[in-house]
């Protein structure tokens, strides 16, 4: 499966538009890389609202590392470090371990990250549940959903689904379908927990 490099950027107060303008200059550099794709998202829910997340995907870790080296050596990136009124607040490398549906990033409008922290010895159960969640969300209207685990940048066990939607209607339909599904009915009646839910973060894809 593929690997994802994610970087979170926190604009300074009142500087969101300037941060966007700086990132837009960097965007074309990703098109020159040997990667699956790249996208920019802005957080619209939770305590990190307004933050920007850059995510790029490669077929293997070596390709991901080569892409990282190329971006961080790019002169636009180097200039941006001194000009952009924002700070990098998080960097993460994750591995996609399951996928439902097929992502078409050109048509993506929204993304949700549903996260959980598995208890010791419960990763297999967590993976099965999150994979089932991915299947149900795609069945209900999401374009694609991947289950991913961090391999660098996070200190504790965590698992998440990254789910992509073509618009608000698709997100609404997927949520409604999930709520009425046998999968959720079984989950609610199951008294054995695999870990701690960490919530859902909604992000909107930026047109850059």
pTM: 0.93
β 37-43/86-101 pair status: unpaired
- 30-59 pLDDT tens trace: 999 999 999 999 999 988 999 999 999 999
Instruction: Say if CB 157 and CB 123 are below 8 A apart.
Output: yes
The closest of 140, 150, 131, 136 to 174, measured between CA atoms, is 140
Residue 110 predicted with pLDDT over 90: yes
pLDDT of residue 191: 67
Question: Among 59-63, 88-92, 127-131, 182-186, which stretch is predicted with the lowest mean pLDDT?
Answer: 88-92
Compute φ and ψ for 96, nearest 5 degrees. -80, 120
The span from the CA of 179 to the CA of 126, in Å, is 19
| pLDDT at position 59 | 96
The pLDDT value given to residue 192: 75
Beta bridge partners of 146: 99, 162
Please tell me the CATH code under which domain 3-205 is placed: 3.30.70.100
Which residues sit opposite 56 in a β-bridge?
5, 38
Q: Which residue ranges make up each domain of the chain?
A: 3-205
């Amino acid at each position: 499966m593929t690997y994802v490099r994610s970087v979170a950027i926190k604009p300074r107060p009142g500087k969101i538009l300037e941060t966007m303008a700086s990132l837009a200059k960097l965007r074309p550099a990703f098109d020159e890389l040997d990667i699956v794709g790249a996208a920019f998202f802005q957080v619209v829910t939770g305590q990190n609202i307004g933050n920007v997340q850059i995510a790029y995907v490669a077929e293997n870790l070596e390709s991901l590392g080569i892409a990282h080296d190329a971006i961080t050596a790019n002169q636009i990136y180097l200039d941006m470090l001194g000009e952009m009124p924002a700070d990098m607040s998080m960097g993460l490398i994750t591995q996609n371990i399951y996928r439902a549906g097929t992502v078409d990033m050109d048509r993506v409008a929204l993304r949700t990250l549903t996260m959980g922290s598995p208890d010791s010895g419960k990763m297999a159960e967590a993976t099965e549940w999150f994979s089932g969640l991915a299947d149900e969300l795609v069945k209900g209207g999401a374009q694609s959903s991947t289950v991913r685990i961090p391999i660098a940048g996070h200190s504790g066990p965590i698992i998440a689904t990254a789910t992509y939607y073509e618009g608000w209607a698709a997100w609404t339909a997927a949520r409604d379908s999930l709520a009425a599904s046998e999968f959720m009915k079984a989950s609610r009646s199951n008294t054995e927990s695999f870990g701690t839910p960490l919530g859902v973060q909604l992000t909107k894809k930026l047109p850059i």
